Structure 1
Amino acid sequence: MKKLLLSGVVLAVLSSCNSDNDTTIINQDINYSKLPQEFPFTKLATINGVDVINGGFGSGAAAHPTRKGEFYVITDRGPNTDFQNGKKFLAPNFTPTIMHFKINADGNVEVIKYIKLKNPSGQPITGLPNPIGMGSTGEIAYDASGNVLGTDNYGLDSESIVAAADGTFWVSDEYGPHIVHYSADGMEMERISPIGVNTGPRKLPAVLAKRRANRGMEGLCITPDGRTLVGTIQSMMLVPSKALATNTTLTRIVTFDIITGQTKQFLYKQDGGASDSVCDITAISNNEFLVIERDGNFGSQGGIKKVYRINLSNASDVNGTDINAVDGMKINGKALEQCSWDEITNAGIKAVSKTLAVDLVAKLGYEHDKFEGIVYLGNNKLAVFNDDDFGVVDDGNGNPKAKILPKTGKVDKGTMYVVDIQ
C-alpha cells in the first residue's frame, strides 16, 4: 500500500492501470509513481495533554471540474466530543475549511490553497450550531471545560462539497440541513434550507427538517450537465416523529435544479438500517451515481464500507405536491417512514435501484471507520477519502483521546485511496 500524507490528508493509490481507453478519466495522465511522500501535520490544539491535529479533511471531496489531478476536500464543523445533551467544541473558533490540492506533473502533491468559509459579510463562520428557527438540531455547544457556548446563524456542520464549473462551491451540512452556495473565496452567496427562514426564496422540501441530529445531508454532488445537485440524507428521518418513524432502512435522496429551484425526492433502501450511514455521492452520469454505505466500526474490526451504483431513472419522485408539507408525501395517511417496503411497493412507489460497486474491506482491507468522501474518476476508478476526526475521539466522559487505528496502532489521519470498481 502506498500512502502520501498531506497536511491532514494521506494519499494512497491501490489500483493498477487497465487498458480501457476512456478519454474522460480525470486523472488519466497523472503521475502517482512518487508515492509515498509525507508532509508535516500542524497541531490545532492540545486538550488535557491530547494533541488535536489540524486535519479533518475528508468529510467530503470533489474533483476540480476542468483541471486534471486537482481535488478539493472539506472539513466538518471541527473537533468535538459528546457531552451531556450536546457537544464539546474543542476549538470553538474553528472555521470549516476547503483544501485545494493537486498532483503535479512530477507526481508530487502540492497544496494550492486553503479556503475558509465565510458569512455574507465576509467574516469567518464557525461550526457552532444554528439558533432555534435557523436550522437548530437542539444541540447545546460547550467548550472543552464544559462551559456553554453560543450559536452561529451561519454555522455549518459541513459534510460534502461540489466544485462548480464557474469556480464557486456548493456545500451540504448536517444542521438545517442546508445547501450553501459559496463564492470561489468562500463567501456565502445563498443558503437553501427546509427551514426557509432568512435563507432566501429557494427552499428544500420542509420534510427534510425532520432529519436526526448529526444525520442531515451527508452527501452532495452535481450532475455532469452542471444543472442538478443531488444530496443524500444520512439515514432514516424522524417523520412524523421519533416515536412513529419505524422503517429503519428508508432514507431519502433529494435533487435540486440549480436553474429553476425545483426539487425531487427519491427513496433509498439501506442495507444496515438507522444506525448505519449513507454518506457521500458522486455522479457517473445525469442519472447514475455512486453512494457510500458504512457503519461506525473500523474496517479492520469487521466494519462495513461499501459503495453502491444507483440509478434514479426508474425511481419514483416522492416530493409530493407541496414541498412545505412538514411530513412530506403520505400513503393512506401515513408518512413514508411509517410504511413498510411492502406498503410502499403496493402504492406503486419504486426506490432507486442499487448494485454493489466495491466492498473496500474485502478488496483493500480498509482500516478506517469514517469512510465519507468519494470522487468518480472515470474508467471505473474511484477516489476514496476518510474523515480522521482531527485525530481524536471521545473517551466516554466528554474528553478527547487520541483516535488510534486498531490494526496499525497509529493515530488516524485523512486518507485517499484510488480503487477499481465494478
Structure 2
Amino acid sequence: MKKLLLSVLMLTAAIACKDDDNANNNDVNYSKLPQEFPFNTLTTINGVEVINGGFGSGATAHPTRKSEFYVITDRGPNTAYLNGIKFSAPNFTPTIMHFKINAEGNIEVIRYIKLKNPSGQPITGLPNPAGMGSTGETAYDVNGNPLGTDNYGLDSESIVAAADGTFWVSDEYGPHIVHYSADGVEMERISPIGVNTGNRKLPAVLAKRRPNRGMEGMCMTPDGKMLVGTMQSTMYVPTKALATNTTLTRIVTFDLATGQTKQYLYKQDGGASDSVCDITAVSNSEFLVIERDGNFGSQGGIKKVYRINLTGASDVSGTDLAAVDGLKINGKTLEQSSWSEISAAGLQPVSKTLAVDLVTKIGYEHDKFEGIVYLGNNKLVVFNDDDFGVVDDGNGNPKTKILPKTGKQDKGTMYIVDIQ
C-alpha cells in the first residue's frame, strides 16, 4: 500500500511539474517586482529593530498553483559570540511563509506555518545536542547567558513543496533533511550515519560540514523521485587544517523510494569564503545553482547562478557510506586532493555554465542571495535573506543591517530575472 501511495504521489508531482514547465508564466502579474515582503517588528534590542524577516533562506514554488510560493527562515536572528552565537529571540520558531502574487501584482501572505516536533510543539532554532546533529556551537541569550539545546532544533536553509502538500526542509546542523506535514509537524528526520535521528540515512561524511555551512540548498527533481542537496562550502574532511581544496564542495542526491544516495563534486569559482546556496531543478539532471560571496552587490559582491548537469559527473560515494572521511584518492580525502589529482583518478565534477550574473543584470544590492525558483521559459525568481534586518556589531550585539547603496534597512525582496 505504501509503494502504491508513493507511486501515485510521484506521478502527481511529475504531472504538476510538467504542467508548470510548459505553462506560460506571463499571465501571472510580475510587473510590480521587485517587491518587499510585509514585515513588522519581532523584537527590539538596545533600540535596534529586529524585523520578523529571514524569509528567503530558501524558496520553492507551489507544485500546482504557479502564482503561489513558499519561503522559509533560518534559525532566527543571531550574532557571533565567544564559541557560539547569541540568539536575539531564543524562542523564535523557524517558519514557512506561504504567499501568492495576486491579480494586482502584489505579494499577499496566505499563511505562516511554524515548524513543529513530532508531538506538534513548536521547535526553536537552537543547536542540537551532542549525538543528534550538534555543530559544537553554544547558544547564548542577549545577555550572554548560555541557553540549552533542542533535539528537534533546525537551522533551516531550503524547502521543497511536495505534490501531496508536505514539505522537505534541509538545514545546517546535522545536516538534516526533515519531512514536515502540511501543518509543519515533523514526520521524518534523515541525518548522516552516526547521527542518532531517524532510520534512513545520509552518508556519514556529510556530518563533517563546517558549522553554519551545512546543506544550504535543496530541490526535488520534476519527476518527484529524488531530492538534490548542496553543501554550502568545503567540508572539514578529514579536518579543518587538512581540507585544503577550498573550491570543492559536494552535491548529494536522495532517492525518496529507496533511500539510496549519490554524491557529486562541484567546483566553485571562488574560494573558502564563497558559498554554494540554493538549487532549483530545470530537469531531472539539469539544475540552477547559486554561487555568492558575503559582500553587498554594490561593493563588488559576487551573485551568480550557474546551470549544472549531473550527467557525466562521477558518483564519489565510494563503497562504504559509513566511512567518516568518505572516498579517498591515494590515501587522501577529496577535500585534501587537488583538482588535477581528482581528474587523474578519473573523477569528473558536474558541468557548469553561467546562467546569470545578478549584479550585472539587475544591479542586485543585497549580500545574502539564497533563494531561487525556476519558472520555466528561462525565467527565474530570486529571493534574498535579510538576516531579520540586523547584523553583528562586532561585539556580539545586533545593529541595523543597512544597504550601502540606498541607506535603507535590508528587507526580504522578491525579484524576477531572465537567464541564459
Normalising by structure 2, report the TM-score.
Answer: 0.93
**Residue type matched to 1:155 in 2?**
G
- Aligned match for 1:266, one of 261, 264, 267: 264
Matches within 5 A, 1:60-209: 60-209=58-207
Answer yes or no: is the 8 Å Cα contact 1:161–1:221 preserved in 2.
yes
Identity of aligned residues (%): 85
Instruction: Note the alpha carbon deviations across 1:17-72, whole angstroms, 9 max, x for none.
Output: xxxxx962473311234568777521100001101001110000000011111000
Rounded Cα–Cα distance in structure 2 between residues aligned with 1:149 and 1:288: 42
Consecutive unaligned residues in structure 2, runs of 5 or more: 1-19
* Cα pair distance change 1:114/1:263, threshold 3 Å: same
Which residue pairs with 1:237 in the alignment?
235
**Residue type matched to 1:414 in 2?**
G
- Aligned match for 1:377, one of 375, 378, 401: 375
Matches within 5 A, 1:170-319: 170-319=168-317
Following superposition, the deviation at residue 386 of structure 1 comes to 0.3
Q: Identify which range, 103-112 or 37-46, moves more after superposition.
A: 37-46
Answer yes or no: is the 8 Å Cα contact 1:59–1:373 preserved in 2.
yes
Aligned-residue CA RMSD (Å)? 1.4
**Residue type matched to 2:238 in 1?**
P
Which residue pairs with 1:15 in the alignment?
none
Rounded Cα–Cα distance in structure 1 between residues aligned with 2:160 and 2:389: 25
Answer yes or no: is the 8 Å Cα contact 2:233–2:249 preserved in 1.
yes
Which residue pairs with 2:386 in the alignment?
388
Answer yes or no: is the 8 Å Cα contact 2:33–2:415 preserved in 1.
no
Matches within 5 A, 1:363-374: 363-374=361-372
Rounded Cα–Cα distance in structure 2 between residues aligned with 1:36 and 1:310: 26
Answer yes or no: is the 8 Å Cα contact 2:243–2:335 preserved in 1.
yes
Answer yes or no: is the 8 Å Cα contact 1:134–1:195 preserved in 2.
no
Answer yes or no: is the 8 Å Cα contact 1:240–1:335 preserved in 2.
yes
Answer yes or no: is the 8 Å Cα contact 1:26–1:69 preserved in 2.
no
- Aligned match for 2:401, one of 400, 403, 411: 403
Instruction: Note the alpha carbon deviations across 1:341-388, whole angstroms, 9 max, x for none.
Output: 000000000000000000000111110000000000100000000000
Is the partner of 1:68 in helix, strand or coil? Answer: coil
Following superposition, the deviation at residue 193 of structure 1 comes to 0.4
Answer yes or no: is the 8 Å Cα contact 1:26–1:377 preserved in 2.
no
* Cα pair distance change 1:289/1:40, threshold 3 Å: closer
**Residue type matched to 2:299 in 1?**
Q
Following superposition, the deviation at residue 244 of structure 1 comes to 1.2
Answer yes or no: is the 8 Å Cα contact 2:33–2:414 preserved in 1.
no
Matches within 5 A, 1:38-57: 40-57=38-55
Rounded Cα–Cα distance in structure 2 between residues aligned with 1:35 and 1:363: 15
Is the partner of 1:193 in helix, strand or coil? Answer: strand
Following superposition, the deviation at residue 105 of structure 1 comes to 3.0
Following superposition, the deviation at residue 142 of structure 1 comes to 0.2
Following superposition, the deviation at residue 322 of structure 1 comes to 1.3
**Residue type matched to 2:216 in 1?**
E
**Residue type matched to 2:192 in 1?**
P
**Residue type matched to 1:69 in 2?**
S
Is the partner of 2:360 in helix, strand or coil? Answer: helix
Following superposition, the deviation at residue 196 of structure 1 comes to 4.4
Which residue pairs with 2:351 in the alignment?
353
Instruction: Note the alpha carbon deviations across 1:157-212, whole angstroms, 9 max, x for none.
Output: 00000000110000000000000000000000000001444422210000000000
1:324 aligns with 2:322: yes
* Cα pair distance change 1:349/1:31, threshold 3 Å: same
Instruction: Note the alpha carbon deviations across 1:245-283, whole angstroms, 9 max, x for none.
Output: 111100000000000000000000001111100000000
Higher percent of residues as helix:
2
Instruction: Note the alpha carbon deviations across 1:317-358, whole angstroms, 9 max, x for none.
Output: 001111111000111111111110000000000000000000
* Cα pair distance change 1:37/1:323, threshold 3 Å: closer
Consecutive unaligned residues in structure 1, runs of 5 or more: 1-21
Is the partner of 1:344 in helix, strand or coil? Answer: helix
Which residue pairs with 1:7 in the alignment?
none
Rounded Cα–Cα distance in structure 2 between residues aligned with 1:416 and 1:300: 18
Rounded Cα–Cα distance in structure 1 between residues aligned with 2:296 and 2:340: 33
Answer yes or no: is the 8 Å Cα contact 1:394–1:401 preserved in 2.
yes
Answer yes or no: is the 8 Å Cα contact 1:176–1:195 preserved in 2.
no
Rounded Cα–Cα distance in structure 2 between residues aligned with 1:285 and 1:111: 29
Rounded Cα–Cα distance in structure 2 between residues aligned with 1:57 and 1:416: 10
